[in-house]
Amino acid sequence: MRERYARLTEGRRMEMLEGLVMLTGLYLAISPWVIHFHRGNTNTVNNLILGIALSVIGLGLAMLPERALGLGWLLVPIGIWMIISPWVVSAGHGARAGIVANNVAIGFIATALGLAIIGMMGTRRGGRTRTATAMR
Protein backbone atom coordinates (compact mmCIF):
# COMPACT_ATOMS: atom_id res chain seq x y z
CA MET A 1 0.00 0.00 0.00
CA ARG A 2 2.79 2.44 0.88
CA GLU A 3 4.57 1.62 -2.38
CA ARG A 4 1.46 2.51 -4.36
CA TYR A 5 1.11 5.89 -2.62
CA ALA A 6 4.83 6.55 -3.04
CA ARG A 7 4.63 5.91 -6.79
CA LEU A 8 1.49 8.00 -7.11
CA THR A 9 2.79 11.00 -5.20
CA GLU A 10 6.33 11.23 -6.55
CA GLY A 11 5.52 12.52 -10.03
CA ARG A 12 5.43 16.07 -11.36
CA ARG A 13 1.71 15.80 -12.08
CA MET A 14 0.89 15.35 -8.43
CA GLU A 15 3.18 18.23 -7.44
CA MET A 16 1.41 20.44 -9.94
CA LEU A 17 -2.02 19.41 -8.64
CA GLU A 18 -0.96 20.06 -5.03
CA GLY A 19 0.13 23.57 -5.93
CA LEU A 20 -2.97 24.30 -7.98
CA VAL A 21 -5.26 23.15 -5.16
CA MET A 22 -3.43 25.36 -2.69
CA LEU A 23 -3.47 28.39 -5.03
CA THR A 24 -7.15 27.88 -5.79
CA GLY A 25 -7.91 27.82 -2.08
CA LEU A 26 -5.84 30.92 -1.37
CA TYR A 27 -7.52 32.83 -4.19
CA LEU A 28 -10.95 31.70 -3.03
CA ALA A 29 -10.18 32.92 0.49
CA ILE A 30 -9.11 36.39 -0.69
CA SER A 31 -11.61 36.70 -3.55
CA PRO A 32 -14.15 38.77 -1.57
CA TRP A 33 -11.51 41.48 -1.26
CA VAL A 34 -10.27 41.08 -4.85
CA ILE A 35 -13.78 41.26 -6.36
CA HIS A 36 -14.88 43.85 -3.74
CA PHE A 37 -17.87 42.08 -2.22
CA HIS A 38 -16.53 41.78 1.32
CA ARG A 39 -18.82 44.36 2.95
CA GLY A 40 -22.07 43.00 4.28
CA ASN A 41 -22.20 39.99 1.98
CA THR A 42 -22.82 36.45 3.22
CA ASN A 43 -20.72 35.05 0.36
CA THR A 44 -17.64 36.53 2.05
CA VAL A 45 -17.76 34.06 4.93
CA ASN A 46 -18.57 31.19 2.57
CA ASN A 47 -15.61 31.93 0.31
CA LEU A 48 -13.24 32.51 3.21
CA ILE A 49 -14.08 29.23 4.96
CA LEU A 50 -14.01 27.12 1.80
CA GLY A 51 -10.84 28.84 0.60
CA ILE A 52 -9.10 27.95 3.83
CA ALA A 53 -10.42 24.37 3.53
CA LEU A 54 -9.06 24.03 -0.02
CA SER A 55 -5.70 25.46 1.06
CA VAL A 56 -5.49 22.99 3.93
CA ILE A 57 -6.31 20.10 1.59
CA GLY A 58 -3.60 21.31 -0.82
CA LEU A 59 -1.12 21.65 2.03
CA GLY A 60 -2.06 18.18 3.24
CA LEU A 61 -1.48 16.76 -0.24
CA ALA A 62 1.97 18.36 -0.28
CA MET A 63 3.04 17.54 3.29
CA LEU A 64 1.33 14.18 4.00
CA PRO A 65 0.43 12.68 0.62
CA GLU A 66 -0.05 9.15 1.94
CA ARG A 67 -2.76 10.29 4.34
CA ALA A 68 -4.28 13.21 2.44
CA LEU A 69 -4.56 11.66 -1.02
CA GLY A 70 -7.89 10.15 -0.06
CA LEU A 71 -9.21 13.66 0.57
CA GLY A 72 -8.90 14.60 -3.10
CA TRP A 73 -12.51 13.60 -3.71
CA LEU A 74 -13.60 16.45 -1.38
CA LEU A 75 -12.68 18.95 -4.09
CA VAL A 76 -15.62 17.76 -6.21
CA PRO A 77 -18.42 18.57 -3.71
CA ILE A 78 -16.64 21.79 -2.70
CA GLY A 79 -16.46 22.78 -6.37
CA ILE A 80 -20.12 21.98 -6.94
CA TRP A 81 -21.06 23.97 -3.83
CA MET A 82 -19.03 26.93 -5.11
CA ILE A 83 -20.95 26.84 -8.38
CA ILE A 84 -24.37 26.96 -6.70
CA SER A 85 -23.45 28.95 -3.57
CA PRO A 86 -24.07 32.48 -4.94
CA TRP A 87 -27.74 31.66 -5.37
CA VAL A 88 -28.11 29.59 -2.19
CA VAL A 89 -26.17 31.77 0.23
CA SER A 90 -27.61 35.07 -1.00
CA ALA A 91 -31.13 33.82 -1.65
CA GLY A 92 -32.80 36.79 0.04
CA HIS A 93 -30.96 39.57 -1.77
CA GLY A 94 -29.39 38.01 -4.88
CA ALA A 95 -25.75 37.96 -5.92
CA ARG A 96 -24.00 40.40 -8.23
CA ALA A 97 -22.67 39.18 -11.57
CA GLY A 98 -19.05 39.44 -10.36
CA ILE A 99 -19.71 37.16 -7.40
CA VAL A 100 -21.48 34.63 -9.60
CA ALA A 101 -18.74 34.61 -12.24
CA ASN A 102 -16.00 34.33 -9.61
CA ASN A 103 -17.60 31.46 -7.72
CA VAL A 104 -18.62 29.54 -10.83
CA ALA A 105 -15.09 29.77 -12.25
CA ILE A 106 -13.50 28.68 -8.98
CA GLY A 107 -16.10 25.90 -8.66
CA PHE A 108 -15.24 24.51 -12.09
CA ILE A 109 -11.51 24.67 -11.32
CA ALA A 110 -11.92 22.91 -7.96
CA THR A 111 -14.14 20.23 -9.50
CA ALA A 112 -11.66 19.64 -12.34
CA LEU A 113 -8.76 19.35 -9.89
CA GLY A 114 -10.72 16.89 -7.76
CA LEU A 115 -11.59 14.78 -10.80
CA ALA A 116 -7.94 14.84 -11.89
CA ILE A 117 -6.82 13.55 -8.49
CA ILE A 118 -9.50 10.86 -8.52
CA GLY A 119 -8.49 9.91 -12.07
CA MET A 120 -4.84 9.63 -11.12
CA MET A 121 -5.71 7.34 -8.23
CA GLY A 122 -7.91 5.16 -10.43
CA THR A 123 -5.35 4.95 -13.22
CA ARG A 124 -2.59 3.89 -10.88
CA ARG A 125 -4.80 1.27 -9.24
CA GLY A 126 -5.85 -0.15 -12.60
CA GLY A 127 -2.28 -0.25 -13.86
CA ARG A 128 -1.06 -2.07 -10.81
CA THR A 129 -3.90 -4.58 -10.93
CA ARG A 130 -3.15 -5.44 -14.57
CA THR A 131 0.56 -5.84 -13.83
CA ALA A 132 -0.09 -8.06 -10.82
CA THR A 133 -2.49 -10.19 -12.87
CA ALA A 134 -0.01 -10.52 -15.74
CA MET A 135 2.74 -11.70 -13.36
CA ARG A 136 0.63 -14.61 -12.08
Domain residue limits, the chain = 2-135
Chain segment 17-76, per-residue pLDDT in tens: 888 999 999 999 999 899 887 777 788 899 999 999 999 999 988 888 777 777 888 999
**Residue 22 has what pLDDT?**
94
Q: Any residues with CB less than 8 A from the CB of 15 and at least 6 apart, and which?
A: 62
- pLDDT interval class at 2 (50, 70, 90): low
**Degrees (nearest 5) of the Cα angle 57, 59, 63?**
120
**Residue 119 has what pLDDT?**
85
**Degrees (nearest 5) of the Cα angle 122, 57, 5?**
40
**Which tops the pLDDT comparison, 86 or 125?**
86
Whether the per-residue pLDDT at 124 is higher than 70: the answer is no
